[in-house]
Amino acid sequence: MKKIFSKGLFLTMLGLIMSSLIFAQADKSKRASPPETATGTVDGSHITINYSSPAVKGRKIWGGLVPYDKVWRLGANEATTFETSKDIKVEGKKLPAGKYTLYATPGEKEWTFIFNSKTMDNGKPVWGIKDEKGTTTEDPATDVLRVMAKPEKSSSFNERMKIDVTKNGFVVEWENLKVPVSIK
């Protein structure tokens, strides 16, 4: 009888521990790269950018963790999304109103930002990468727009990647770098 009670107690405790771990995983704010949202109005259009914010943690970011000249999911976890309420011009090129996944190809002297129409995969948000090599889920066949922007030295160190919507567009900042992208 004592053995049955002990096994039952053990299994109950194990179940409670497992459920708390599952619920902790569901709480995205507890992730190493927590979700963030940047919002604002640019030239009459409401812009919303949802992304996950990785940290430097002493790592070499540009040309290291984030390789140059390779498509990057612009953050961590799920692919970054960009939504505009009206048609806009990004770096002088038209982007229709709608929701997009937003990727980037960082370069030492120039970055490419990629707006892609695929935001869902089998009813779930597109994950940012598809394999252990870090290959992104970006599919050139569903790209809507590609624009170029020039990186600049940031005025301060940013431990966490952040994206801000400004009156002139949006800016990506992380480590000692910032990349402004104009919107009109």
- Give CA–CA dist 23/94, Å, rounded: 42
- Tens digit of pLDDT at every position of the chain (184 positions): 555 555 655 555 555 555 444 444 567 768 778 999 999 999 999 999 999 999 999 999 999 999 999 999 999 988 999 999 999 999 999 999 999 999 999 999 999 999 999 998 888 888 877 777 777 778 899 999 999 999 999 999 999 999 999 999 999 999 999 999 999 9
Neighbours of 23 (CB within 10 A): 10
- Give CA–CA dist 170/179, Å, rounded: 8
Neighbours of 117 (CB within 10 A): 15
pLDDT on residue 6: 59
pLDDT on residue 3: 58
Classify 100 as helix, strand or coil.
strand
Break the chain into its structural domains and give their ranges: 1-30, 32-182
Q: Is residue 179 within 8 Å of 153, Cβ to Cβ?
A: no
Give the Å distances, CA to CA, from 31 to 17, 103, 111: 18, 21, 27
pLDDT on residue 1: 52
Place of tokens 């252990």: 132
- Give CA–CA dist 115/82, Å, rounded: 8
- Give CA–CA dist 176/183, Å, rounded: 23
pLDDT on residue 21: 45
Classify 21 as helix, strand or coil.
helix
